[in-house]
Amino acid sequence: MELRYEKAIKDRQAFIEKILISKSNKKIIVAGPGTGKTYLFKKILKGKNNTLTLTFVNALVEDLSLELCGISEVKTLHSFALSIFKKNINNEARIFPKLSEVIKQDAAVLLDKNIDFDYIFHNMDDTNEHVKFYMERREYYHDYYGYSDIIYQIVKHLENTSKDIPIYEQVLVDEFQDFNMLEVFLIDKLAEKNPILIVGDDDQALYDFKCADKKHIRQRHCEPNSEYEAFWLPFCSRCTSVIIKAVNDIILMAQRQGHLKGRIAKEYKYFETENKDKESSQNPKIFYKNLFPAQISWFIQKQIEEIAKEVKAEFSVLIISPYKKQSSQIVDGLKKRFGFKNIKSAEDKIEKEPTLLDGLKILMNDDKSNLGWRIVLKQQLMNNDIDFKAVIKETNKKDSKSIYDLIGSNIKKEVKAMLKILKSIENDKEVDKADIMGILDKLNIDVLEKGKELLSEEIASNYQGSNIPGIKRIPIKATTIQSSKGLAAEYVFITHFDDMFYLDKGQVKDKNICNILVALTRAKKRVYLISTDTKKEPIFMKWIDSQCIDRRI
């Protein structure tokens, strides 16, 4: 038995050593979930002082910044672009994530067109006539930039001024399968002057909404004329053997049915260790349960109790749902009905529509900001579209005035009063109760509903249905599939596991396959698949060997 484990370690190390001894300045590695990317990163960075690690997934930045603390600067792509922009172009530059939506709304007024500016930038569409309009409007908003245009402007700057390309001993790039053309251009500019190592997995491509394309990783890994030396990491040390088998079953069936064309050929193997074999023996099946949606919270609570009886120690739980609304309903049920205290909802996509609070926060730092007043004005004139359009048209004239100078005194007075209250709150000063209630009302924050939720959770904390009080403190994360990237837990519940949610209008698409592969591989020990369709079993269930499934739960 020990010889088998020693062989597994030796086999895995052989793949890592090939990467470490390579003299190539451009390396690309295909690494599936749990195959040791962070371990590899530490090995690559060992002995180096000036290094950079880039990704765009916030959860990964948070984890990697701790794992690589002291040995690498870890940044998202837009925060890296902003740092270079501040150093070489405009030290006052700031990010406002919703800027492209603000300018999209301006374009609807000034051009009478619905323009997706993020799409233009993500695809590096330099010749598009609307780039000039965007830049002119962005200039009117002074030092603010959006996520996509800050990267676009840095790419254009580095194309014209290569001396400003920063120099590192090593650049690491993670999650490359979800990069779009704009982001790839930035990496290519860095690669001109830096040793670069790219990591990704085309089986985990989830972010097509931002024009990401897995062709970029496939081209660099597979094409004969690629400048990159190709490697892979096949051994998964995260998941139990039954999960690895289920993943491979799905991939095999997908390919047999004509899906995943162009997929990088690679193995995804279970990594044999004494501890992982024990966990695999204790968790030999994936559980499947059909329930009504209202029963899901109850079922998860019951299973957490059963797990607690098994392990007799703290454990982690991850709940993955197709949509944020479903995730929120489950969290509400666990909190309010069963008194769970330690539930965190993972960050989801930022809402595109700028809010009144967004504008006020900008004005708290700069009370004459065109962007701040523009956002506030839109919200204040929500029911008066004609006045709003008139102001926007005035801002587009030659030698245009600031928005502050264009709006009426009544709006200014009202906004300044709100700012005074917010600054008092910020500085922990006493604020009149009526003033607080008034601004909460303007911000559409329902105090009664919030209070009701708080009371409901407090009442639920007295829930006596469980004989194991400690389970209320079990760490639980609830999220959507896209937001689950970078997360892992010992026990994973995949909810609403039905064709209506996991397929594309009843058809299997490559992105649906990637979604289920990512969801399954968040689990370290056990997976629960929870279906809510009582009439039809999900297609993906038929793709997994029936010997891997336990329906008796």
Nearest of 212, 226, 71 to residue 511 by alpha carbon: 212
Backbone angles phi, psi at 357, to 5 degrees: -65, -35
Give the pLDDT of residue 392.
96
Phi, psi dihedral angles at 210 (to 5 degrees) = -110, 30
Q: Which of helix, strand or coil describes residue 197?
A: strand
Listed by start position, the domains of the chain span: 21-80+161-231, 92-154, 241-339+464-550, 356-449
Give buried/exposed letters for 351-370 (b at 16+ CB in 10 A, else e).
Answer: eeebbbbbbbbbbeeeeebb
What is the pLDDT averaged over residues 71-90?
95
Give the number of other Cβ atoms within 10 Å of residue 123's Cβ. 14
Report pLDDT for 465.
63
Torsion-angle region of residue 159: left (phi > 0), alpha (psi -120 to 50) or beta? alpha
Task: Tell which phi-psi region holds residue 219, choosing left (phi > 0), alpha (psi between -120 and 50) or beta.
Answer: alpha
Q: Please, what is the angle between helix 370-380 and helix 385-395, to 10°? A: 160
CB 273 within 8 A of CB 34: no
Residues 6+ apart with CB under 8 A from 456: 335, 336
- Pairwise CA distance, residues 421 & 436, whole Å: 7
Q: Which residues pair with 551 in a beta bridge?
A: none
Q: Which residue has the higher pLDDT, 522 or 57?
A: 522
Average pLDDT for 293-301? 97
Question: SS3 breakdown of the chain: % helix, strand, coil, rounded to 5?
Answer: 55, 15, 35
Q: Say if residue 412's pLDDT is above 70.
A: yes
E strand intervals along 39-185: 51-55, 73-76, 94-95, 144-145, 170-173
**pLDDT of 445-462, one tens digit each?**
887 887 777 777 667 666
Please report, for residues 199, 256, 500, 510, the alpha-carbon distance to residue 204 in angstroms, rounded to integers and kept in the order given.
12, 19, 21, 10
pLDDT, residue 368, reads: 95
Is the model's pLDDT at 32 over the cut of 90? yes
Question: Which pLDDT belongs to residue 448?
Answer: 81
pLDDT of 65 reads 86
Q: Look up the pTM and report it.
A: 0.91
Task: Fill in the DSSP letter of residue 401.
Answer: P
- Tens digits of per-residue pLDDT, 510-529? 999 999 999 999 999 999 99
Using a 10 angstrom Cβ sphere, with 0-12 exposed, 13-18 middle and 19 or more buried, the burial of residue 149 is: buried
Domain 21-80+161-231 has CATH 3.40.50.300: yes
Among 313, 349, 344, 348, CA closest to 331: 344
Confidence class of residue 62 from pLDDT cuts 50, 70 and 90? Answer: confident
Taking residues 53-82, what's their average pLDDT? 89
Tokens of 138: 């962005």
| Residue 1 confidence (pLDDT) | 67
pLDDT tens, residue by residue, 211-247: 999 999 999 999 988 999 999 999 999 999 999 999 9
Domains 21-80+161-231 and 241-339+464-550 in one fold:
yes
Residue 343's DSSP bridge partners are: 476
**Closest C-alpha to 489, from 504, 474, 509:** 474
What band does 381 get if pLDDT is binned at 50, 70 and 90? confident
What pLDDT shows up at residue 302? 96
How open is the CA angle 191-192-198, to the nearest 5 degrees?
10
Residue 384 has pLDDT above 90, yes or no: no
Answer yes or no: are the C-beta atoms of 311 and 468 closer than 8 Å: no
Tell which residue, 530, 30, 514, 41, has the closest CA to residue 288: 530
Q: Tens of pLDDT along 167-214?
A: 999 999 999 999 999 999 999 999 999 999 999 999 999 998 899 999
Minimal CA–CA distance to 167: which of 137, 132, 183, 191? 191
Instruction: Please state whether 283 falls in left (phi above 0), alpha (psi between -120 and 50) or beta.
Output: beta
Both tokens of 39, joined, read 């371990």
Q: How confident is the model at residue 415 (pLDDT cuts 50, 70, 90)?
A: very high
- For domain 241-339+464-550, the CATH architecture is 3-Layer(aba) Sandwich (3.40)
Judge contact between 541 and 494, C-beta under 8 A.
no
Q: What angle do CA 56, 105, 135 make, to 5 degrees?
A: 65
Output 307 or 348, whichever has higher pLDDT. Answer: 307
